[in-house]
Amino acid sequence: MREYLLTLCITAAVTYLLTGPVRKFAIVAGAMPEIRARDVHREPTPRLGGIAMFFGLCAGLLVADHLTNLNEVFAKSNEPRALLSGAALIWLIGVLDDKFEIDALIKLGGQFIAAAIMVVQGLTILWLPIPGVGNVALTQWQGTLLTVALVVITINAVNFVDGLDGLAAGMVCIASMAFFLYAYRIWYSYGIESAAPATLFAAILMGMCLGFLPHNMHPARIFMGDSGSMLIGLVLAAGAISITGQVDPDALKLFTGSEKAAVHQTVPVYIPLLLPLTILAVPTADLVLAVVRRTWRGQSPFAADRGHLHHRLLEIGHSHSRAVLIMYFWSALIAFGALAYSVNSASMWIVLGVALLSAVGLVLLLLPRFTPRAPRWAEHFVPPRYRRRRAATAGSANSPVGEAGSPSDREQEPPVAVMTGVAGVNGATALGSHRHRPERRKAGTSR
């Protein structure tokens, strides 16, 4: 565990330290697109944050290769090299897109090629654990098609959800955390070395996201761009492929008694990771809804719009930060709920806890629909938005001139002062001088 923590910290530190210089480079390179209709930020923000994340990935793999225990992953498996090859290609395509806005079909073709490169080097699905059947071996073509499909779906799911500050990095960090706990349990609890690469990928992915998040939280100073969103999507898919299609349930049956029991024990995470519907349930749902919505309108599935889940949260009335936290909540609930169920599927407390937290999540979603009001005796202890309207109206009506709470009252103060103080003075001169004083104050303040 210490070596994993060291790899995570090195990855996070490299990503964090490089993000600042990358931001300056993005500004100099002109990777700051104009505000588009679907954007929620108000100022042009540099992209290319994926550059720092890619070098964080390289640093994590380099450190792990020189550690005593993790070095065995590189010695016994070619999966780290396969991951680095596919990540380098998808990262390069993302950098070009962040700078030059390349066509969506070109990006899709690059995703297929990156997935094929990983398949050629051995990172592929070899078999599937099917409930009630057991272990089903796949042919070479079946494994290749399933692997490529999983990589492309995961990359686009993460790319589609990258619409708010800190959203994609935070959700992938939560997913990789749950994934790390599951893979670590498979490796050290059952002694299955095939889970070691997936555990390493999850630790590095957590470091990439944690190192980038401080720069990307609202208000973001830099965006990861496609160079970052496609990169972390590919790393997450690589870990899912490694543990889903290469950890043989035959090894688990030594601990559970039979192959079918082993499949049943791990199916809450095996099958959802394969599709993926648990670790990336929210981004995948957003991806499916976006494709259906755009196709129904006669548009291209890659045509951008403002119909994503995070856009709808903003339209309901949630603030930017609250919308991001709600998406975090649902991602953590689904991912860690599946993880807990895979550990002890016979416990009803897990099911009841997930159901209770789901009810809490629904309340959070509907929060803007109703505004709770505090009792009158507690109005002085809560923010103004939770006070009763009568109290707010009465307070503004009883306030003296010059202390009114509304902007309209403050704008009317200078004319009132002029009309009451014109006796014995040239009215036109006094009125003109008083009208120009607020303008001079505003000008001085704005400078």
- Binding site for Mg(2+): residue ranges? 159, 226
C-alpha 354/C-alpha 341 separation (Å) is: 10
C-alpha 289/C-alpha 311 separation (Å) is: 13
Tokens (6 digits) for 288: 């499916």
Q: Which residues of 77-102 are buried (b: 16+ CB within 10 A; e: fewer)?
A: bebbebbbbbbbbbbebbbbbbbeee
Tokens (6 digits) for 216: 């990307």
Q: Label residue 277 exposed, middle or buried (CB < 10 Å: 0-12, 13-18, 19+).
A: middle
- The residue assigned the tokens 């009792």 is 375
C-alpha 95/C-alpha 230 separation (Å) is: 10
Q: What are phi and psi of 186, to 5 degrees?
A: -65, -40
Query: 219 and 165 in contact (C-beta within 8 Å)?
Result: yes
- The residue assigned the tokens 């109206």 is 393
Q: Could you tell me which residues are annotated as the binding site?
A: 159, 226
Residue 14: partners with Cβ closer than 8 Å, 6 or more residues away: 52, 55, 56, 59, 60, 211
